[in-house]
A and B are shown apart, each in its own frame.
Chain A
Amino acid sequence: MQPVSNSVDLTSKIPNNVGLSDDPKLRKALERWLPNYLDWWRDMGPSDFADKPVYLRTAISVDNAGWAHYDHVKMPDYRWGIFLNPLKEDEATIKCGDDAGKAAWAEVPGEHRNALRRIIVTQADTEPASVEQQRLLGHTAPSLYDMRNLFQVNVEEGRHLWAMVYLLHKYFGRDGRDEAEELLNRRSGDEDKPRILGAFNQPCDHWLSFFAFTMFTDRDGKYQLAALAESGFDPLARTTQFMLTEEAHHLFVGQTGLQRIIQRSAQLEKMDPNGDVRNQGGIDFDLIQRTINYWFTYSLDLFGGEISSNAADFFASGLKGRFREAKKYEDHKAQSGDYRMHLVEGGKLVEKDIPLRNAMNEVLRDEYVADCERALRKWNKVLEEEGVETRLTLPSRRFHRHQGIHAGHFFNPDGELISEDEYRANEQKWLLTPADNDYLLSIMKPVHEPGKFANWIAPPSRGIEGKPLEFEYVRL
């Protein structure tokens, strides 16, 4: 391999608080990986905007002053950093499972090596996947403000990949390096080298899906990261804790993006003599509901099986906790106790008690669903304030599932068990259709004038980092 020209200044190029300059082994591994990463970014990152300065937030350290540094940057020059939340000696304990309360692991324990690697690789794989899914969206951005947000999300997903690759390189030896390479070889939606998880292979080809993705799918990411932030493997816990601070912005983009669309649709409905949103070039509420149904349920799949021996193992061995395990729960062993869930048995929906540890995926899913419901309430409040009748809902978590105990059965959005025929007959009504996509693509024309917004979306209530809406968030 050619010596990489930027190897000398790798440490200055990669802001970090992991002592990269004192760790020649790690530096060497990252130096080898860096050019492949840049190739991947060039091929699969946002298309055609490499030379445009974008008003980005960069983390250059983890303290309050350093983690949010704003400036116009060309994306390939973004400084992908490696940050862990600072070590807090007294808090570094195993948070859950059989060994709860014992000292956390600073190194990977042999017996959990494979499981931890799998957990990290699965999380890591989602980071570049979403960048790939969103790579064409820059061309149809409804405003410079939104375009900037898209790119901000993209570079941070790139940084999240770095964070995970750091763990793989630092703690998992040759296997870890191989996995890090593979992360750059898989491609979202590729028949031969798909990304690991289903939702990350679904096309995301317009902005309604982008907002729904960042609202619902990134939110799964939040809960997975939060569960890993409780991990007994301390470097993983501290890495994911820091990632969560960035993830919050992605969720903000998704939740407010959908909210602005909902608000705009309400305005257009009132404007139209027949209350026809489409007639005014907007996105009708049925279509918005179908989008919610589609992305919410695909995201539910990401939590894994409702009854899962992996989930029980991960919890029991302290690799993955519940949401806010340390703060929210008293009993961190969860050795006894059941979780009551609905499942299909003999063609009927029945209730069953599952040992709590085996239900940990469902426990995490509960937190997620409650969080999504909060967003729905906010959106419905907007509808109420705008004075329109429509209300949006979350479908049942049994509806439209591809993983877990509900997969293979058919439910309507209310969660009632129905026949496959009935399901097929209504699918078009409940889920995004190709015609929906055609319509959405037809109205998604880029808006490049600072301060202007596409007709189908309302402006946000304020700009980024105190800047006005007219600010040139991307210099085209």
Chain B
Amino acid sequence: MAEAEGQSFPAVDFERTPADYKHWKVSYDGEIARVLMDVDPDGGLRPGYELKLNSYDLGVDIELADVVRRMRFEHPEVRTVIVSSGNDRAFCAGANINMLGASTHAWKVNFCKFTNETRCEIEDAERHSQQVWIAACNGTTAGGGYELALACREIYLIDDGNSAVSLPEVPLLGVLPGTGGLTRLVDKRKVRRDLADVFSTTAEGVRGKRAVKWGLVDGIYPRSKFDEAMAKRAGEVAQEAAAKAGDTPRKGITLEPLQVSVEDNSRSYGSVRFSWDDETRIAELEIDGPSEADLEVVRGGAEAIYAAGSKLWALRAYRELDDALLHLRVNHLNIGLVLVRAKGDAQRLLDHDAALAKALESGHWFVNEVVAHMARTLRRFDLTSRSFFALGDAGTAFAGNLFELALASDRFYLLDDPDQPVHVGLGALNHGVLPMSHGVSRLDVRFYGDDAAAKALAGKQELLDPESADDAGLVTVLLDDIDWDDDVRVAIEERASLSPDALTGMEANLRFPMPENADSKIFARLTAWQNWIFIRPNATGPEGALTLYGKPERPRFDWKRV
């Protein structure tokens, strides 16, 4: 399909503001926010499909991601978010099938990954910000629609004898409910696995009392009582969440639009530069540490940090990084390797992190949001299917929170040159404040099985010279200035020559040692299976179920189990 080349369509932009939402209406009433999904059928991101029955594409989900993020930063007073539908027939019919059917494999994968991250952000909002999402399913809730509901803490379904929750992917489309559906069914809602089996193979789904009995929803209400019941429940949930959030009044900040200058081969933000070379298939991602002035702000404590709003380095730079990562994923499919550099003053990064950690202890909501956002962005980095080499050459500042980028990269090359001394450093945020999606710090992942090494670094907040860093196990390859150019070049060339598929699979396996949790199961197990099924003839071959959905012919399966 056309977007395989990535050039036939304009690049996807990930920045949204509420004023230009096409598909969502958000209203606020004190502690309760209402998010109404009302997808514009003609508002698809690409031509060729109609977003009927509140079905969605990437564009719809980019707006949702913006809703979720702004809710936390701009409306911290909100404790309950009720998501429901403005469509009179469906709550949400899930991902648009025609869009999926017409999409390339890469587009489907990127789409699913992004939607998965957004669903995880919904759960993250409850975990870290006491913002509890509740799904008020006021109509048919099918496929991705039910998966959206599953990301909410509670699900209520209208009891009109007709509206059902369902996961029709397997029986109708020959693919999986891949946006966390299967995982959340058994891992989060703890639906019995045999009932989950029945549910996931019944296209029409389950409604009414049985949906409650099986644990698929938390309650059902008739149409005449639905809105009232939702309002009541929202109030109760808000009260509970408020008890945990504390009663300090919170006033949101404004997430100002990112400043970016775009050129043919680069996007330059305030602190982030992302550039690419389509010829070599290599991109460079450079991030500047905080300035002296940025450090001063953080040293000023929680109130000063709050006053800086979205200009705060830790928020701005990470928003820029996040945006760059999304562009990398969706608009630069041929880029295989990303060289990552952190620039600035390593000691200043440690000071910055120490001050930020101190402000975090004060419990200020905004500081909490800033750190949670850093963590999410780093997780997006972990989950980006490109090779990352962190390069610690002259002027490097892989220290503190930016050292996480070195840990998140597949390899870390560090220069050891007495003429151009560099340092790396661990700070207050490296010891569990910025966990990976399976809940553990990158440092713990790095030293899984090597307790001695882990112990030696536990709680450490200091600069390390290249040799000590290497001794401590923080460096992949330590190179002196004579070897640097050649060795790095060879490593890059070698990497760029390997099979991109094999690398994607290998990296995804090597990046996440240690036990799984629900999030990592979604990104690893569920996604991997889904991506496999997506390329199987039974789904996307000429006679596959996904290809033929809505077409006059019925699918023909190759019955061999693989």
Bitwise, A177-190 to B at CB < 8 A (1) or not (0) is 00000100110000
Check B161–A316 contact: CB distance below 8 A: no
Check A316–B222 contact: CB distance below 8 A: no
Check A192–B204 contact: CB distance below 8 A: no
Check B553–A335 contact: CB distance below 8 A: yes
Chain B residue contacts of A356, Cβ below 8 A: 552
CB distance from A354 to the nearest CB of B (A): 9
Q: Does B49 count as interface, using CB distance less than 8 angstroms?
A: no
> Would A192 and B551 be within 8 Å (CB), given that A114-B202, A186-B161 are in contact?
no
Check A114–B161 contact: CB distance below 8 A: no
Chain B residue contacts of A114, Cβ below 8 A: 171, 202-204
**Within the complex, which residue of A191, A196, A334 is in contact with B223, where a contact is CB–CB below 8 Å?**
A191
CB distance from A185 to the nearest CB of B (A): 7
**Which residue of chain B lies nearest to A360 when distances are taken between CB atoms in the complex?**
B552
**Within the complex, which residue of B171, B225, B552 is in contact with A335, where a contact is CB–CB below 8 Å?**
B552
Chain A residue contacts of B553, Cβ below 8 A: 316, 335, 357
Distance of A185 Cα from B162 Cα, bound (Å): 12
**Within the complex, which residue of B162, B549, B554 is in contact with A316, where a contact is CB–CB below 8 Å?**
B554
Q: Does A276 count as interface, using CB distance less than 8 angstroms?
A: no
Chain B residue contacts of A182, Cβ below 8 A: 161
Q: Does B224 count as interface, using CB distance less than 8 angstroms?
A: yes
CB distance from A124 to the nearest CB of B (A): 13
Q: Does A312 count as interface, using CB distance less than 8 angstroms?
A: yes
Distance of A392 Cα from B228 Cα, bound (Å): 47
Chain A residue contacts of B225, Cβ below 8 A: 192
**Within the complex, which residue of B159, B162, B551, B552 is in contact with A196, where a contact is CB–CB below 8 Å?**
B162
A residues 149-199 in Cβ contact with B at 8 Å:
182, 185-186, 191-194, 196
Chain B residue contacts of A98, Cβ below 8 A: 554
**Which residue of chain A lies nearest to B204 when distances are taken between CB atoms in the complex?**
A114
Bitwise, B193-204 to A at CB < 8 A (1) or not (0) is 000000000111
Check B552–A192 contact: CB distance below 8 A: no
Q: Does A16 count as interface, using CB distance less than 8 angstroms?
A: no
Distance of A196 Cα from B163 Cα, bound (Å): 10
> Would A118 and B204 be within 8 Å (CB), given that A186-B161, A355-B551, A358-B551 are in contact?
yes
Name which of A185, A186, A196, A309 has the most chain B CB atoms within 10 A of its CB.
A309
Contacts between chains A and B (CB distance < 8 A), count: 48
> Would A193 and B160 be within 8 Å (CB), given that A114-B202, A118-B204 are in contact?
yes
Chain A residue contacts of B222, Cβ below 8 A: 191-193
Q: Does A455 count as interface, using CB distance less than 8 angstroms?
A: no
Q: Does B18 count as interface, using CB distance less than 8 angstroms?
A: no
Chain B residue contacts of A185, Cβ below 8 A: 161
Q: Does B550 count as interface, using CB distance less than 8 angstroms?
A: yes
Distance of A191 Cα from B158 Cα, bound (Å): 12
Chain B residue contacts of A196, Cβ below 8 A: 161-162
Q: Does A317 count as interface, using CB distance less than 8 angstroms?
A: yes
A residues 175-227 in Cβ contact with B at 8 Å:
182, 185-186, 191-194, 196
CB distance from A116 to the nearest CB of B (A): 12
Distance of A226 Cα from B363 Cα, bound (Å): 70
A residues 432-452 in Cβ contact with B at 8 Å:
none
Chain A residue contacts of B162, Cβ below 8 A: 194, 196
CB distance from A177 to the nearest CB of B (A): 13
Chain B residue contacts of A386, Cβ below 8 A: none
Check A312–B551 contact: CB distance below 8 A: yes
Check A358–B552 contact: CB distance below 8 A: yes
CB distance from A408 to the nearest CB of B (A): 9
Chain B residue contacts of A355, Cβ below 8 A: 551-552
> Would A192 and B223 be within 8 Å (CB), given that A182-B161, A358-B551 are in contact?
yes
Check A194–B160 contact: CB distance below 8 A: yes
Bitwise, B253-267 to A at CB < 8 A (1) or not (0) is 000000000000000
Chain B residue contacts of A194, Cβ below 8 A: 160-162
CB distance from B211 to the nearest CB of A (A): 13
Chain B residue contacts of A118, Cβ below 8 A: 204
Check B161–A358 contact: CB distance below 8 A: no
Q: Does A31 count as interface, using CB distance less than 8 angstroms?
A: no
Distance of A231 Cα from B225 Cα, bound (Å): 40
Q: Does A313 count as interface, using CB distance less than 8 angstroms?
A: yes
CB distance from B363 to the nearest CB of A (A): 45
Name which of A312, A334, A358 has the most chain B CB atoms within 10 A of its CB.
A312
CB distance from B112 to the nearest CB of A (A): 22
Chain A residue contacts of B551, Cβ below 8 A: 309, 312, 355, 358
Distance of A191 Cα from B226 Cα, bound (Å): 11
Chain A residue contacts of B549, Cβ below 8 A: 309
Check A357–B552 contact: CB distance below 8 A: yes
**Within the complex, which residue of A192, A312, A335 is in contact with B159, where a contact is CB–CB below 8 Å?**
A192
Distance of A194 Cα from B552 Cα, bound (Å): 32
Check B203–A192 contact: CB distance below 8 A: no
CB distance from B276 to the nearest CB of A (A): 37
A residues 276-313 in Cβ contact with B at 8 Å:
309, 312-313
Name which of B161, B171, B223, B550 has the most chain A CB atoms within 10 A of its CB.
B161
Check B552–A312 contact: CB distance below 8 A: yes
CB distance from A181 to the nearest CB of B (A): 11
CB distance from B545 to the nearest CB of A (A): 11
Check B554–A317 contact: CB distance below 8 A: yes
Bitwise, B25-40 to A at CB < 8 A (1) or not (0) is 0000000000000000
Distance of A335 Cα from B553 Cα, bound (Å): 7
CB distance from B162 to the nearest CB of A (A): 6
CB distance from A194 to the nearest CB of B (A): 7
Distance of A118 Cα from B171 Cα, bound (Å): 15
Distance of A196 Cα from B161 Cα, bound (Å): 8
Check A309–B550 contact: CB distance below 8 A: yes
B residues 139-165 in Cβ contact with A at 8 Å:
159-162
A residues 355-383 in Cβ contact with B at 8 Å:
355-358
> Would A193 and B161 be within 8 Å (CB), given that A316-B553, A358-B552 are in contact?
yes
CB distance from A452 to the nearest CB of B (A): 43
Distance of A358 Cα from B550 Cα, bound (Å): 8
Bitwise, B213-228 to A at CB < 8 A (1) or not (0) is 0000000001111000
Bitwise, A326-352 to B at CB < 8 A (1) or not (0) is 000000001100000000000000000
**Which residue of chain A lies nearest to B159 when distances are taken between CB atoms in the complex?**
A192
Bitwise, B527-562 to A at CB < 8 A (1) or not (0) is 000000000000000000000011111100000000
A residues 115-166 in Cβ contact with B at 8 Å:
118
**Which residue of chain B lies nearest to A316 when distances are taken between CB atoms in the complex?**
B554
Distance of A185 Cα from B207 Cα, bound (Å): 15
Distance of A179 Cα from B551 Cα, bound (Å): 30
Distance of A165 Cα from B224 Cα, bound (Å): 29
Question: Given A309-B550, A356-B552, 13 other A-B contacts at CB below 8 A?
Answer: A114-B202, A114-B204, A186-B161, A191-B222, A191-B224, A192-B223, A194-B160, A196-B161, A312-B552, A313-B554, A316-B553, A335-B553, A355-B552
21 chain-A/chain-B pairs, Cβ below 8 angstroms: A98-B554, A114-B203, A118-B204, A186-B161, A191-B223, A192-B160, A192-B224, A193-B161, A193-B222, A194-B160, A309-B551, A312-B550, A312-B551, A312-B552, A316-B553, A317-B554, A355-B551, A355-B552, A357-B552, A357-B553, A358-B550
Per CB-CB distance, the 6 closest pairs between chain A and chain B, nearest first, are: A357-B552, A192-B222, A309-B550, A355-B552, A312-B552, A316-B554
